[in-house]
Chain A
Amino acid sequence: MLLYTVKRLIQGIVTVWFIATATFFAMHGVPGDPLMNDKAVKPEIRANLEARYGLDKPIHMQYWIYLKNMASGDFGISFTQQNREVNDIIREHFKVSATLGILAIVFAALGGILWGALTALYRNRAPDIVIMFLVILGISVPGFVFAALGQLSVVEINDWLGFTLFPVAGWGTVQHMIVPSMVLGLGTMAFLTRLMRSSMLEIANSDFIRTARSKGLPVTRILRKHQLRNAILPVITVLGPSIAAITTGGFVVELVFAIPGLGRYFVQAVQQSDYTVIMGTTVFYGAFLVFMVIVVDVIYGFVDPRVRLE
Chain B
Amino acid sequence: MAEGTLSWERVQVEREVETVSRPSLSYWQDAWIRLKANRRALISLYLVIALVAFTLLGPFVWTVDPAAQDLDQISVPPGADRTATVVGDYSPWRGVTATATADDGGELAAPVSVSVVDQPTTNSVRLRWDPVPGAGGYRVYRNRYDPEPDGALGLPIAEILNPVNVSFEDRLDLKAETYFYSVVALDGRGRESPNYTTATAGVTRVITAAEAVEKGLIDNESDVQLGDTVEMAFHPLGTDYLGRDMLARLMHGARVSLFIGIVAPFFFVIIGILYGSAAGFMGGRADQVLMRFADFVVALPFLLFMILLRILFNVESGDSGIGPMLVAMVLLSWPAAARLVRGQILQIREEGYIGASRLLGAKTNYLILRHMIPNTMGVILVTLTFAVPSAIFTEAFLSFIGMGVAPPTPSWGSMCNEGLKTMLTTPHELIAPAAFISITVLAFNLLGDGLRDALDARMRATE
Which stretch from B22-30, B151-159, B294-302 is at the chain A interface? Answer: B294-302
Q: Which residue of B lies closest to A22 (CB)?
A: B300
Bound CA–CA A120/B32 (angstroms): 29
Question: What 1/0 flags go to A198-213 for Cβ under 8 Å of B?
Answer: 1001100100000000
User: Is A305 part of the binding interface, using a Cβ–Cβ cutoff of 8 Å?
Assistant: no
A136 touches B442 (CB 8 A): yes
User: Is A216 part of the binding interface, using a Cβ–Cβ cutoff of 8 Å?
Assistant: no
B308 touches A26 (CB 8 A): yes
Question: What 1/0 flags go to B301-331 for Cβ under 8 Å of A?
Answer: 1111101110110011000000000000000
Interchain residue pairs with CB less than 8 A apart (25): A15-B296, A18-B299, A22-B300, A26-B305, A26-B308, A140-B441, A140-B442, A140-B445, A141-B434, A141-B438, A142-B413, A142-B437, A144-B416, A148-B420, A201-B462, A248-B301, A248-B302, A251-B401, A270-B307, A270-B308, A270-B311, A282-B304, A285-B301, A289-B299, A289-B301
| B397 shortest CB reach to chain A, Å | 7
The winner among A26, A152, A205 for most chain B CB atoms within 10 A is A26
| Chain B neighbourhood of A201, CB < 8 A | 462-463
B397 touches A252 (CB 8 A): yes
B315 touches A286 (CB 8 A): no
A26 touches B309 (CB 8 A): yes
Bound CA–CA A286/B461 (angstroms): 33
Chain B residues 266-319 with CB under 8 Å of chain A are 295-296, 299-305, 307-309, 311-312, 315-316
A26 touches B401 (CB 8 A): no
Question: What 1/0 flags go to B389-420 for Cβ under 8 Å of A?
Answer: 10001001100110000000000010011001
| Chain B neighbourhood of A144, CB < 8 A | 396-397, 400, 416-417, 420
A140 touches B397 (CB 8 A): no
Main SS of the interface on chain A? helix
Extra contacts besides A142-B400, A266-B304 (20): CB < 8 Å? A15-B299, A19-B300, A26-B309, A27-B308, A30-B311, A30-B315, A140-B437, A143-B393, A144-B416, A145-B434, A201-B463, A202-B461, A205-B462, A248-B302, A248-B304, A249-B303, A251-B397, A252-B400, A282-B301, A282-B308
B397 touches A142 (CB 8 A): yes
Bound CA–CA A18/B305 (angstroms): 13
Q: Which residues of A contact B (CB under 8 A)?
A: 11, 15-16, 18-19, 22-23, 26-27, 29-32, 136-137, 139-145, 148-149, 152, 198, 201-202, 205, 248-249, 251-252, 255, 266-267, 270, 278, 281-282, 285-286, 289-290
Q: Which residue of A lies closest to B301 (CB)?
A: A285
Given contacts A198-B463, A270-B308, contact A139 B300 (CB under 8 A): no
Q: Which residue of B lies closest to A25 (CB)?
A: B312
Q: Which residues of B contact A (CB under 8 A)?
A: 295-296, 299-305, 307-309, 311-312, 315-316, 389, 393, 396-397, 400-401, 413, 416-417, 420, 423-424, 430, 434, 437-439, 441-442, 445, 461-463
Q: Which residue of B lies closest to A248 (CB)?
A: B301
| Chain B neighbourhood of A142, CB < 8 A | 393, 396-397, 400, 413, 416, 434, 437
| Chain A neighbourhood of B420, CB < 8 A | 144-145, 148
B299 touches A30 (CB 8 A): no
Given contacts A148-B423, A198-B463, A201-B463, contact A143 B296 (CB under 8 A): no
Bound CA–CA A94/B356 (angstroms): 56
| Chain B neighbourhood of A11, CB < 8 A | 295
| Chain A neighbourhood of B417, CB < 8 A | 144
| A139 shortest CB reach to chain B, Å | 6
Partner of A139, one of B303, B309, B424, B445: B445
